[in-house]
Amino acid sequence: MVEAPRNTRQRRAVAELMEDLDGFRSAQQIHALLESRDQNVGLSTVYRTLQALADADEVDALRSDDGETLYRRCSRGHHHHLVCRDCGRTVEVEGPTVERWADRVAEENGFADISHTLEIFGTCASCRP
């Protein structure tokens, strides 16, 4: 049985902010956004809270190509992302065909305990000239 986390001002602030965002953001961006809302939360706490939310499957985490971990409030269940490289706007996508293909390829090569990562990046309409 896992202990329920305590209901602190900081956790509420982070969770509420995540509800309001619609793209992937780094921990540091989230920390800055909280300050601009006059909801100061220590950077360590932001990191810890985001990790906890990710572990609890309440946010998705993904690594940007320059090494930062980005977080976003997402719907539950397995899905992938179409992410705008400029503004971070994100569309959740599903690809049952891809899921099956990945599992089949892995099995054919004698691999077990299969998982996969798949992200699509591009420039969204409003970020184009």
List interacting residues with DNA (CB under 7 A): 3, 5-11, 26-28, 40-45, 47-49, 51, 67-69
Q: Is beta strand 25-26 parallel, antiparallel or unpaired with respect to 59-63? A: unpaired
Q: With respect to a copy of itself, which residue has the nearer C-beta, 77 or 110? A: 110
- Indicate the residue type of 98: V
Q: How far, rounded to the nearest angstrom, does the alpha carbon of residue 99 sit from its chain's CA centroid?
A: 20
Q: Which does 74 bind (CB under 5 to 8 A by kind): DNA, a copy of itself, Zn ion, none?
A: Zn ion
Which residue's CB comes closest to Zn ion?
74
How far, in Å, CA of 18 to CA of 20, rounded? 5
Q: With respect to a copy of itself, which residue has the nearer C-beta, 39 or 99? A: 99
Q: Which of 74, 83, 84, 88 binds Zn ion (CB under 5 A)?
A: 74
Q: With respect to a copy of itself, which residue has the nearer C-beta, 40 or 121? A: 121
Q: Taking CB under 5 A as the rule, does residue 53 contact Zn ion?
A: no
Contact residues toward a copy of itself (CB under 8 A) are: 63, 65, 67, 82, 84-85, 91, 93, 95, 97-98, 101-102, 105-106, 109-125, 128
Q: How far is the CB of 7 from DNA (least distance, A)?
A: 3
Cβ(30)–Cβ(71) under 8 Å?
A: yes
**Number of Cβ atoms within 10 Å of the Cβ of 87:** 13
Please compute Rg for the chain using Cα positions: 17
Alpha-carbon distance values, 81 to 44, 66, 92, 116 (Å): 27, 17, 5, 13
Q: Which residues are annotated as a binding site for Zn(2+)?
A: 84, 87, 124, 127
